Structure 1
Amino acid sequence: MAYHLRSASAPSSPRSNETKVEQQLQSLSTATSSPSATIDTMCDGLRTLGDLFGCIEKMVCTPSNQASLCQTVQVRKAVEEELGRSLVLLDLCNAMRESFMELKTIVQENLLVLRRGEDASTHAKTYIRLVKKTQKQFKKITRKTVSDNKQCRVVMLLAEAREVAVSLLESTSGLLSKQIEMPKWSLVSSRTFQKSKVVCEEEQLQALERGIGDLESGVELLYRRLIQNRVSLLNALSS
């Protein structure tokens, strides 16, 4: 069952806004790192994280925060460093989006194979290789995203949200990999199908296809919000 987080709408007080965003980031991190997390949990998490980045972007755009982001050389440097790290996260989102598109294509091909009663072993191996490739890309990228910046509260929230995003995407990749390796997700079948088995496998693949589509939409939302945050930060630096 999906973990439903509270709405990420921004309260009126700037301080309470920051506190609420920080609390929801912590709740989101706990929910998506839980052993009981599902694809639905990750989909909800991506949507919530997109909303939280939207709240942070609104904070960045306030006159007081725009002034504070350029107040000292140290804070300005912290903002520039966070802008650099956000590019890494954007690259990760792009890699995940491409992988989701390929995964959906392979799932659709497997559905056709099942319905024709053919051997799905080749497609299954391709599917597993693709997920492992995604995980390798992810691990290579995430090593560059760690930040210990505490110079500015808004920048600190951006860093925390980015780290939650990286963790969420890692958990998503791992969850997909585990589901593929589990017997109930096995795509390799004998040439002689029992009707009930074929129906069951079709339902599993259709559910997986829907889940990947929802994950794709969530990553797309996150990507758009990251771009908006970058634009707002760059505007603040140039003001």
Structure 2
Amino acid sequence: MACHTRSVSLPTRSHLFLQKAEEELIKLRACVGSSLTYEIMLDALKAVGCVYESINELLCMSSNQNGFSHMQHRRLVEQELEESVKLLDICCTSRDNLDTIKYHVQDLQMATRRGDLQASKSKLRGYRLIVKKANRDVKVQKLNKNEYPEGDSLAAVSFLLETREITISVLQSIFVYLAREIVSQKSSKWSLVSRLVEKRTIACKGDAACLRVNVEELENGVESLVRHLIQCRVSLLNICSL
């Protein structure tokens, strides 16, 4: 996604929020374009949250809210409000899928502790299926790409369009990362299970435990993102009620 340069004459405080959002978006594009690691995925979720926090501050400022009195501008806000429902649904579904994945990893961890290879294979198969479903749940959702004219009062709303698109990319990247994490790059799809069950080293036993913690942290990151989206939606509703 190309970086857009805007020329806006916002009040100083508003300009600071706008600048912060732009900086976080630049970080996000770098994260999505990088090799997928747990740290990068977590940083990306935090960066998305920071963007929405800045956007919400812009939406809440009375100077911006007054600029939405124009009928055309109000329609654009209403369109964005409609899209926010779709994005919120995608994020909630992703959060719930991560919760399910976490319990699959926990079951896998218990099976490998018992040294039960067949049960471990079954749990791993379930993990792979739910990760595949989670990725598909994100991909099948289609969001409209509304076009917004430049203007001081529409700066926050236009940012929502860019952030919406990159949020979907981040969610997709998370499940691509999780799909790769369970499989060894050089051997069969059961390689992790084989190492956990047959070698029984302390390091191998920690693999599933570490993955469970990572999934839980990613789930918490998406939950935090959901809260930011709800705040932005409330601000959009307040604008529509002016």
* TM-score, length-scaled by structure 2: 0.85
Structure 1 residue ranges, 4+ long, deviating more than 4 angstroms after superposition: none
CA distance in 1, matches of 2:196, 2:64: 64
1:118–1:191: 8 Å Cα contact kept in structure 2?
Answer: no
Change (3 A) 1:103 1:69: same
| Counterpart position of 1:15 | 15
1:145–1:163: 8 Å Cα contact kept in structure 2?
Answer: no
| Counterpart position of 1:88 | 86
Change (3 A) 1:42 1:226: same
CA distance in 1, matches of 2:39, 2:125: 25
Alignment of 1:97-176 (within 5 A): 97-119=95-117, 120-141=120-141, 143-150=142-149, 152-176=154-178
User: Offset at 1:28?
Assistant: 1.3
| Counterpart position of 1:227 | 230
User: Offset at 1:135?
Assistant: 1.2
User: Offset at 1:224?
Assistant: 0.6
| Counterpart position of 1:46 | 45
- RMSD of aligned alpha carbons: 2.2
Change (3 A) 1:150 1:29: farther
Change (3 A) 1:181 1:66: same
Secondary structure of 2:193 counterpart: coil
Change (3 A) 1:145 1:220: farther
1:67 is the counterpart of 2:70:
no
CA distance in 1, matches of 2:94, 2:206: 24
1:121–1:187: 8 Å Cα contact kept in structure 2?
Answer: no
Q: Which runs of 5+ in 2 are unaligned?
A: 1-10
Counting matched residue pairs gives: 224
1:31–1:41: 8 Å Cα contact kept in structure 2?
Answer: yes
Change (3 A) 1:145 1:167: farther
2:17–2:57: 8 Å Cα contact kept in structure 1?
Answer: no
CA distance in 2, matches of 1:13, 1:228: 19
* TM-score, length-scaled by structure 1: 0.86
